Each structure stands twice: as structure tokens, then as C-alpha cells.
Amino acid sequence: MPKMKYALLQHNDQLEFVEMPATHMYQLAALNQRLHKELDKLTIPSKPALPVFIAEFEQLEIVHPAYKLQHGLDYINALEKAFSALREQEKEYPLISLLTEIRALQAQLEQWYEEEEELA
């Protein structure tokens, strides 16, 4: 069984839990920091709401029924969709660099999950 890590993200007053391969958790944390750093540079009024990366865990057991564990690839796919949607509106800031970083992690995760599926 592959080693997984779990991220705790805070979006306003909501908590989100994301499961990632342990080998890719650092990339998720770094991507989140970079997106927060660059978010203020966007010139459009409707910027995507990004959660804050709070912590990562080696093990996680969610006991409250209101919280669900989000698959890492699902989280990255949603992030890519949110930033892709901005391309039509954003004329000043080069979104391509942010999308490239998101898509790079997306491609790595897709490959990782495919390899894990083949091994199973």
C-alpha cells in the first residue's frame, strides 16, 4: 500500500482535508504558497478563493461526519479548472506560469495513480 500524507487546509471558516502521495505533499504545500503569493497580482476582480495550507499529517482519521477526505488529484483538477477559467478575463498578469505549475503537479499525480493502479 502506498504511503499517503494528509493536508489540512482552511478556507474561510471551513476545514478541508486532502490526501496526497507522501512523495508529492511538499509540492502541494509549495504550490499553495506560490498561488497565495501571486493571487494579489491578478488584476481581475473575481479571484479564486484559495484555502490556506495549515498542516500535514502522516495519519488521519476523520471522525466528524461533516468532513470528508478529498482525493489529491480531484483537488488539483478543481484548482486547474478555477485558474483556467481566469484566462479569458485576466489580461495583465501572465497566468500561464501558474497554470504550468498546477498542470505539472496534475500530470505527476495522474502518472503516480496510473502506476499504482498497474501495480495493484
d(CA 15, CA 60): 14
Domains of the chain: total = 1
CB-based contact 75:113 (threshold 8 Å): no
Does 120 or 103 have the greater pLDDT score?
103
What is the residue whose three cell numbers read 476523520?
62
What is the overall mean pLDDT for the chain? 92
Give the end-to-end CA distance of the chain in Å, rounded to a whole number: 9
Write the pLDDT tens digit of every residue in 45-93: 888 889 999 999 999 999 999 999 999 999 999 999 999 999 888 877 7
Does 2 or 39 have the greater pLDDT score?
39
- Give the residue-averaged pLDDT of 20-27: 96
Residue 70 domain boundaries: 4-119
List the beta bridge partners of residue 4.
21
d(CA 35, CA 82): 12
